[in-house]
Amino acid sequence: MTSEKIKGLVAATVTPMKANGEVNLPALDSYVKHLEKQGLAGVFVNGTTGEGLLMTSDERKAVAEAWMAYKDKFKVMVHVGGTSYAAAVDLARHAEKIGADAISAMGPCFLPPSRAEELVAFNKIVAAAAPGTPFYYYHIPGTSHVNVSMLDFLKLGEKEIPTLRGIKYTTYDSMTMQECIAYRGGYYDILHGHDETILTGLMLGATGGVGTSYSVTGELYNKLLDTFWAGDLAGAVKLQEKAVEFIRVLIKYENSVVGIKAILQIMGVDCGPVRLPMRNLTPDRMKALEADLRAIGWI
């Protein structure tokens, strides 16, 4: 398995849906045209932002297949995780069959494991179903409630999961993130998962990030990355401040999944509603969101 790392931004993509809640695959085309302008390195499909765990396995397969039509434009990472390792195995096998560039899985959020041993055992079975595809563990304890040390996971996982390539690291524990980045001389690809603190991840040695807001903030964040890599830390800090202004607005409205779909709609990219139990914004809340975006000069 290659030790090459992802450099740049990977958008955690939304899943377009119809008003009745059905998946709306034809709407992907206009969404992709919008994403192309953001200068992305890849897309992360069927994750939290994509409402993956609110879809059936058949829907998730259909969405993954639809994204493969755009593989010439983006690296395609497919989230296959769930509460059932049998279902995750099926999704992992399918992702490899259609040619996904990588698969990822979060720990099971129902009866979540508390030790690295159980978490590795769960993911070992999932990753083995796609033996030719790089595997990234999806660390998002705020959502999955699986809060196992990722350094422990790497140390045990490297012995049990031959395809283990890295971690989608979505937590504010920067100390452990630094340890994971440094482990084995920086072998593993630790992708920063919180858009609002990507500069922290870059400072610690991360080369890429996966984020919800990159669907609309890619141009800004690419400028931030370029500024940092050019050695202008002060300039990068200013750009991170601008990004934080946007993130504050994004998370003000229900949550980032609801917010990003609403912002896309305001920007003319209609990806439809979110699924229950999330709540779509009312017309008044949409107007307030647009006003907030105008107030920070975003639109």
Catalytic positions: 138, 168
| Strands (DSSP E) found in the chain | 8-12, 42-45, 75-79, 102-106, 135-139, 164-169, 189-192, 208-211
- DSSP annotation of 148: -
Which amino acid appears at position 219 of this protein? Answer: E
- DSSP annotation of 41: S
- Map residue 164 onto helix, strand or coil: strand
Whether the Cβ atoms of residue 22 and residue 225 lie closer than 8 Å to each other: no
Whether the Cβ atoms of residue 74 and residue 42 lie closer than 8 Å to each other: yes
β partners of residue 168? 138, 191
Six-digit token pair at 201? 């991840």
